Amino acid sequence: MNYSTLFCNVLITLLFVGTCFLAEYMTCVNDPLDDARATPETSDADRKPLVVRWWYAPIIILAAFGASYVPSTGWMNVIAVVVSAASLAFMACNKAAIHGKMQGLVTATFTSLVCWMWLGYSRAPMGWLVINLTTILVMIFVLSEYAQHFRWPIIRIALVSLTIFDVISVFVTGHMIDIAAASMKAGFPGLVYFPDFHTWKPIMILGAGDIVFPGTLMILAITTGYETKRWLPMWGTLAGFIAGQMICTLVLILFHSAQPAMLYLVPGVLIGYRAAVALIPHEHQAEFLS
């Protein structure tokens, strides 16, 4: 494993942590600053921003997959980028107490800038940076909309099911590799590119789902950690993610073939989370496992 590979793995870890914390922050759920500013008369509903409609996230996911299967429907990716950028800007304005016409102006300006960068520069020599930006926006949006609604029993079943689907899609049908190839060719969001340390040309690619799905468990650990002041499950989840990521990298080096990253990441985060929960006081374990 050379320095460039280690560099990519560090970037993947930073992306995972940053995306999860930003998504949790955007939801305004259990944010310590909000709790500090709150008064006894302030309800949770008063402290939370207006959340965009729950059905936006499925539209984004279906649009990304649909556009990859049928490249001529690239306009669906525009919908995914616009909805994600506008929703995140809207939530950020609420977080900063910006309302009214100024909120609309900030949201419209940010959304227009993101779309202009993606449509104009995604196929430029360094276009992977723009694609990374739009993909990260989509990931933060999906996590901020969905992750807060899931608890441990549902998350573990969903992660195992999605891992089985990912393995079949890569090793049996191969259609996940076709989706990735079509997305790379068209410059669609949905992939995150990691560059070589020296040339800054992409040498590793990770799907958005490889961050989003394990990220649901990370956000559960963060939000429950705020409530219980127990942070060991968060660190256990992160340690499991890093371990799975390193094993995946070693397998890539040894076999030189595409791998379903979730095959390695999901067992890592599940084991790391559950082992860490087992180490905290028994009276707090139910809050992490309910």
pLDDT tier at 218 (50, 70, 90 boundaries)?
very high
Return the domain boundaries, the chain: 3-289
pLDDT tier at 51 (50, 70, 90 boundaries)?
very low
Write the burial class of residue 54 (CB in 10 Å: 0-12 exposed, 13-18 middle, 19+ buried).
exposed
Provide CB contacts within 8 A for 177, sequence distance 6+: 170, 258
What are the tens digits of pLDDT across the range 145-163?
A: 777 778 888 888 889 988 9
pLDDT for position 38: 41
User: Most confidently modeled of 104-113, 130-139, 269-278?
Assistant: 269-278
pLDDT for position 195: 79
What are the tens digits of pLDDT across the range 19-31?
A: 888 888 776 533 4
Distance (Å) of CA 221 to CA 268, 271, 278: 14, 13, 13
pLDDT for position 71: 44
Angle, helix 3-27 to helix 209-228, in steps of 10 degrees: 50
User: Element (H or E) spanning 176, and its range?
Assistant: helix 175-186
A 10 A CB-CB count for 66 gives 13
What are the tens digits of pLDDT across the range 220-272?
A: 998 888 888 889 999 999 999 999 999 998 988 888 887 888 999 999 999 99
Mean pLDDT of the chain: 75
pLDDT for position 74: 55
pLDDT: is 1 or 242 the higher one? 242
Q: Say what percent of the chain tops pLDDT 90.
A: 14
pTM > 0.95: no
pLDDT for position 268: 94
CA 77/CA 100 separation, integer angstroms: 28
Q: Is the pLDDT of residue 54 over 50?
A: no
